[in-house]
Structure 1
Amino acid sequence: MSQNELVSVCLLLVLLCSSAESCVQRHVQVRVPQKLQAGYVISKVNLVDCGRHTYLTCSDPDFTVQTDGTIFTSHLTTVPDDGKSFWIWVEDATGEMWKVDVTLSLADQVSQKSSNAVLKRFKRRWRPLPFSVTENDKGPFPKDVELIASDSSVDRTVYYSIRGMGVDTEPENVFQVIPDSGLVRVLKTVDREQYPKFEFMAHVYDKFTKTESDDPLPIIVNVLDLNDNAPEFSDPLLFVVTEQSKQGTYVGKVNATDKDEPNTLHTKIKFILQNYTDLFTIDPSNGVIRTVNKQLDRETQERFFVNIEIRDMDGAMDGLSARGVAIVSLTDINDNPPTFRQSTFKAQVLENQASVLVLRIPVDDKDLKGTPNWNAVYEITKGNESGNFWMTTDPVTNEGLLYVAKPLDREKQEKLNLEVTARNQAPLVSTTGTWQTALVELNVGDVDEGPEFAAPILRLKVKENVPNGTLIGTYTATDPETKSSNGIRYYKIPLSDPGSWIKVEESTGQLKTINTIDRESHLVINNTYNITVKAVDQSQKTGTGTVMILIEDVNDNVPVVPESNRVVCTMDGKRSSTLVDAVDYDQTPYSGPFTFELASGVTGKWKLKNATGTSIILEQAEDMPNGVYQVPLLIKDLQGVGQEQMVSVRVCDCDSDGVCSGQGVSARLGAWGILAMLLSLLLILLLCLLLLFVCTTKGEKLRMTDDDGSGGMLLKSNTEAPGEEVKETPLLITPGSKADGSGTKGGGTLDYQTIRSFRGGYGQQNTIGSQGMYGTGQFGNSFQKYSDMATMETWQTNEVYLDNKLLYFNEEDDRRFAADVLKPYGYEGVGSPAGSVGCCSIISDQDTLDFLDTLGPKFRTLADVCTSKTVRRGQ
């Protein structure tokens, strides 16, 4: 096309554009400095109303326009004094075009030619495009990145600064800006894998006022990726697959990562299999490993070491790569049955033995040891119909162990042939093999055996209560070798017959009763009574058998009432009833249902109703006063056998709980009553122990003299305090006396006088001396004589003296300690006037001594003995 034609087309386009409504302003007029650095932003065409897809071109090569409408210088440009003009062509997606006139004038001059032009004011703005740098750049540094500019630089003198990431925060000192020009520079190498982008803020300031002339602008610097990282395996290369798997079976997936920028060739990885390609294959795009055929046999090779390469750039030769070894292990399946090492096994076993090991049968299995595919299970498939053998498996060696379960009898069978089959715990798969069998030949060895009963258990039926000596059966045995019963003796094992009911005849084996057989005995279980019989041959070999006696019931029991004490409550004046239960220890038809009848004489007072077979309701027929009544009942079993049973019925008033009122209180206070009884018993026990201790304590042995009293004397004393020969406490204080001897009744003083002897009632001499009063006869007169003394010993002293006196009497007579026990005495025809003088024969009131005035013969002897050893003079 010629130049003229091109001009014509352009004019036509201009006319078309002028005829259409423009989406942009038609004129742009900007004041600029005379010298413009490269990248200096002139202005921006407003494309808001032009849609998303627009194409812009500039008519002046000194300037460049970006897709967002920003116009900036492409290199260092000088604006003429009279200004400079050019235009911008804007084309939308439909092909429509608009022309934007751009007029530049110097900042200190205003073109008169454009004074009449229509100017439109736009808001000042920054250049918004992101910057980019390449990672691992080798320099040299610093290196220019981009030029930033603000609209405020059109009419002001400004300078720039940047702050933020990569400038004054971590990582610091990566970028800087030249303040006057706004040129951003990178100062060192950056790593995209560490910092994929940088974001910092740009600020513009008026050089004269030092204030920001525009809002801060966020600057984004993207770090361009280089393929500087080889791919890496992200997971362990360990895989498992079952042996004999079919073609295409999933084995596992190789996972790999690349630190370079995602979704680029730098991170597009290709997977390559380098060996065992006849067994496995790998998907080059996702790393999935699959089997190629069914030739994977664990018994041939258990694991495979597969080399795998991963390469980025989609496998290109200039891409980076890495290699690894994947371990593919084969899991076992039961494709090999156990095999016997020989087809026939021979062994010998003695008869009459049980639970003994006969034979070990070895097998081989190629499957994985210790798994159900290897563990063998043995079965006797032939020859064990009688159950004489059983088999198990040795868990360590996997051998079959053949045991004797029941004793063998050589007399019945000398040889045995068994067929043994070996299986696995798991079924066979992926194989044509089958379970194998082996033959076992056994010889039974002979052993001298004891007698054998024809039947191990003899069952006999016997009615209970048969007469003693009744023959109930015969139980005999034979010798297995001779098949004869000659010379065999029979005995009953005693512990097997706890009731001693059966006798075994030694020579014949006859069984006879020797005691009454009672079916209702606790020794009978389920109507059965067992005894054990032992047979002994001439060589002292023994054999045992069991006799099971089945006891048949007879009607030997009548119905009885186990709980004969019943209660009938009268509540609110109403009559009541009670349930009477009866039992019969016989079995049907000798037990229930029962018939109940009232005996004669009580039919008007009581009545029966609602019989249920084993129980009946006993009800009052008339009002009765509270008390206990004996009600005779005639109870018969199904055969009409029975007798009269006496039922004790208590008629009482009951509370709301149905308990007799008196019994209710006892029940409520039962726990406290029991506790009180226990405490009382404990106190009585302690008291008895105390009395026993007092009565049986060994006293000081005293020698009794029978002198005439010539050595004793009474001493006079006028001192307030008693002498050293006088006791501190009185022996007895008679009624009406005081401790100081000043009582008004019989309360005189008594001086120490010469001790005189006197005779008791039976002619025995008594003596009062300085060491006390001793005697061997009746002390009644003596006690009476000194009962009015004012100063006596205390009761405690009396007790000690009494013990000594009684002890002396006893030792003088028969040299034995006195105790409150029964002793033999000659019977003189009449009872003793004193009665019992034991230490526990009486418990008196100790608060008063009035009883001393009326002592009878029972205590007179004791009172005589308790007279004080010394008598002191009162003041």
Structure 2
Amino acid sequence: MVMKQSTSVMKVMASDADDPTYGSSARIVYSVLDGERFFTVDRQTGVIRTAVADLDRETQDRYELVVKATDMAGQMGGLSGSTTVTIVITDVNDNPPRFPQKMYQFSVSEGAAVGTPIGRVIATDADMGENTDMSYLIKDEEGGELFRVSTDGDTQEAVITIKKPLDFENKHTHNVVVEAVNKHVDPRFVDLGSFRDQTIVRVSVSDVDEPPIFIPLTGTIMEVQEDARLGALVGIVTAKDPDMDNVPVRFSIDRSTDQEQIFNIDPVTGAITLGKILDRETAGWHNITVTAVEADNQSMASQTAVSIRILDVNDNPPELATPYEASICEDAKPGQLIHTISVVDRDEPQSGHRFYFTLAPEASNNRHFTLWDIKDNTAGIRTQRSGFNRQEQNVYLLPILVVDSGPPALSSTGTLTIHVCGCDTDGAIQSCNATAYVMSAALSPGALIALLVCILILIVLVLLILTLKRHRKGQRMSEDEEDMRDNVIKYNDEGGGEQDTQAYDMSALRSLYDFPEVKSSDSGPDLRSVPQWIQNRVVGDGGPADFSVFKGYIRKKVEQADADLTVPPYDSFQTYAFEGSSSPALSLSSIRTLSTTSEQDFSYLSDWGPRFRQLAGYYAPAQAEEEGS
């Protein structure tokens, strides 16, 4: 701390127990026994003052001062006492920061990213506390453009980082001037000197192999007409190797950004050409990514975005904005505006749209409506006469021709459908249907309501009849299903013959097929349809056999089945086999045809006569032989 001479520091005070009113016994004077070089004390008041003007805390920050107090006013025989006074010198910011070195040197690769720390430097300050706080600045313009300096709050160091990418090919070494400045400056000591210091930081940039650089560095915008032919040039991208070797660069399109392969690029020149026909109305912009790599090192690659704008040509005709429909009242007046139409065009000319409206040639003789071009890309339809009658014609189709401004001028024809409607006295549309108009004119409201009620009743009756028919049909089908049955009788146990009633009950078979008996025919038998060997066995000496009974029986059953329409047709198959009593093979069945003890009734065979039994008897042995019995 630097201060002026005779600056008051503090005051000491001693006490005396003697009576101050008696002589000089209590009169005290002060003196300095030790430290009088730096401090003095007032003999009467005890005020301690500085003896010099150059007290420096940085040299000595503490002083021990011995002060003596003597009574009797310091005369001979007076008594004395002493005390030690400690004086601490406080700090003021009277010292500037200082760099220990006038130059620092660091090295960094040109491929280092922005924000990478290069190195640290620090300036010292003899002061203490907040008087040592300082900030750092870069003084030269070039260094300030490429580098940034910040202060570490904990260590008070200057941290130098990269502000912009470095380029070895552009400059190998950068000299950066860094300045340290006190944050808290005491105005009393400004005249003692500058409170700042500078040093030079030399940054050496080392070379690395860098990927190609596109020119310009940012994205590229190109334009092409939408009617350009295949192979037409769209634009050229440029990139180069930034290294001193200047290796050739090869170009390609990232197909993930051009999956349809609309564009192609020359790998050497970077020329982008059309690979497919363009349509601006489908896509007005195309954004692709172009990749550039070093010819001898594919890992050194960089990319840039290329935006291609498709310029419009007039290749779409104008069209009515919507399938327009309009309505007019039967009592419409001439010149009445009934509708306003507008147009849409998928093209976007740079000068804007301009459309022209007129009636199509086929409507040139139209005497009902006129078209009015409003000159703002819209048109109005007006009535040309009065007295429309929807009974005579309730719909008018008005073809409208729309032409754009090109070039070339394109046109299209749209149709406006105009309905003639019935309106109330206020002009509000009531109905546009001619049929409904006739019915409403012929019938009063009460008659219309009665007609609707009758129709509703008729619908209810029809539904009721259909429901009853469906119910009866279901009952009939259920009865028919109950009558339909399948009877399967399986008999594969020979048992003890007809006497074995436990094995099989023949009555069940008979009851199942209980047909009425058929009388035999008087006509003679017909053997022409049977084999000759059967004829020889059946006829023998007894004369011709009689087969009419079979024919009559079968015919009768067919007639009965055909005549009865209430039941499903039954299919029955019955086999009658009689071996005869003279068969050497004996019976193959447990049913004996001539048994007198069986409960089965064979009366339905009585009309067939003995010749049938004779025929069965001759046939059975032959059948048995064929079966290997």
Question: How high is the TM-score relative to the length of structure 2?
Answer: 0.45
